[in-house]
Homo-oligomer: A and B are copies of this chain.
């Protein structure tokens, strides 16, 4: 190697895409804390504290609740590989890109997989789900709570109960909801949930908090085959996180520090206050985006507050627009995935970044970008509409 790369010194960004969102400064700060060993009594205590807070945020008493040592997608895989054995009937009801991922993940477990899909931007209603369960009688139903590719929120509040009428376990993707909008695992009778660290919890990406209900744990215990993944095998990891603290793999100490701080921030604020904050900032952002002439993809009845997916106006180039935002204003928003590639922008105001200054900044910058691309926009209209919404 001729010359080494220089000191890390990135130009600061404001991360308003579908994730990662900016980590809270207090989270960044704890990440410089020197390491502890993964079996140090002090670290075991930190693990317990983290789990206790995580249960609170997931609104569950589930004993088997802890962060998987990898990013959100590993959490998805953890849920499927632990609950499914080859030949098990599984249904994935997909409403977008991350539903498609569930199909791919579930398909690798040897499951007898049935796929049900809705046009992107829509969600399933309870009657449709009932019919699907009746028809397929699956061991597991997989459903994405917040489909960040479309900005749609799938109501899952009644789905767990429904599943249990059919002896089905419900796996839900809470990657984009946890810490932003209500996730009530016990009340909703969700059997296995996974999330991430870099959205509603305001940490860097790198951990996937999961939670398994007693029903799911029973299914895990009655497996006849080994879990196909060693790294994600809850039958052994749980003895590190839930049992006798026996060594499984070396936990990512610093990421656990971060998650602990992120969870402290959530609970200091309080769940209800946090949800209300996300709704308030969403209302302002939405007013501003609509004033700029941007149209939402998901219907109002199932719209996510934390990820705002809008159609890119005719004549505006996706990549050029986002580059403009990034290079001139340091603001990152997301492009479209899959069917929506080149057609959608996704604006995330999650966790720490669900703040009025983020809303106003992105509206002001977007207005500039749209005008630059030849769209007619009344100067200041986005910000003005947001201001009005805030004062309403």
Q: CB within 8 Å of B: which residues of A?
A: 1, 4-5, 8, 10-13, 15, 17, 19-20, 22-23, 28-38, 40, 42-43, 46, 49, 52-53, 56, 69-74, 76-77, 101, 104-105, 107-108, 196, 198, 204-206, 226-232, 247-255, 257-258, 260-261, 264, 267-268, 326, 332, 337
Q: Is the CB of B257 within 8 A of A255?
A: no
Q: Is the CB of B20 within 8 A of A205?
A: no
Q: When chains A and B are docked, how far (Å) is the Cα of A108 from the Cα of B225?
A: 10
Q: Is the CB of B229 within 8 A of A108?
A: yes
Partner of A15, one of B37, B46, B49, B71: B37
Question: A267 — which chain B residues lie within 8 A by C-beta?
Answer: 1, 4
Q: Is the CB of A36 within 8 A of B8?
A: no
In the complex where A70-B231, A104-B230 touch, is A28 in contact with B38 (Cβ < 8 A)?
no
Partner of A20, one of B77, B196, B206, B250: B250
Q: When chains A and B are docked, how far (Å) is the Cα of A104 from the Cα of B20?
A: 34
Question: A268 — which chain B residues lie within 8 A by C-beta?
Answer: 4
Q: Is the CB of B254 within 8 A of A204?
A: yes
Q: Is the CB of A206 within 8 A of B255?
A: yes
Q: Is the CB of B206 within 8 A of A40?
A: no
Closest to A230 in B: B105
Q: Is the CB of A198 within 8 A of B260?
A: no
Closest to A31 in B: B31
Question: A8 — which chain B residues lie within 8 A by C-beta?
Answer: 30, 33, 46, 257, 260-261
Q: Is the CB of A1 within 8 A of B52?
A: yes
Q: Is the CB of B53 within 8 A of A254?
A: no
In the complex where A31-B254, A32-B31, A255-B255 touch, is A249 in contact with B12 (Cβ < 8 A)?
no
Question: A11 — which chain B residues lie within 8 A by C-beta?
Answer: 42
Closest to A236 in B: B104
In the complex where A71-B69, A105-B230, A255-B255 touch, is A12 in contact with B34 (Cβ < 8 A)?
yes
Q: When chains A and B are docked, how far (Å) is the Cα of A226 from the Cα of B337?
A: 23
CB distance from A326 to the nearest CB of B (A): 7
Q: Is the CB of B19 within 8 A of A250?
A: yes
Q: Is the CB of A206 within 8 A of B206?
A: yes
Closest to A45 in B: B5
Q: When chains A and B are docked, how far (Å) is the Cα of A260 from the Cα of B7?
A: 9
Question: A229 — which chain B residues lie within 8 A by C-beta?
Answer: 77, 108, 228-229
Question: A332 — which chain B residues lie within 8 A by C-beta?
Answer: 37, 40
Partner of A53, one of B1, B72, B108: B1
Q: Is the CB of A108 within 8 A of B15?
A: no
Q: Is the CB of A252 within 8 A of B249?
A: no
Q: When chains A and B are docked, how far (Å) is the Cα of A35 from the Cα of B108?
A: 32
In the complex where A10-B36, A206-B252 touch, is A230 in contact with B77 (Cβ < 8 A)?
yes
Closest to A253 in B: B204
Q: Is the CB of A20 within 8 A of B37?
A: yes
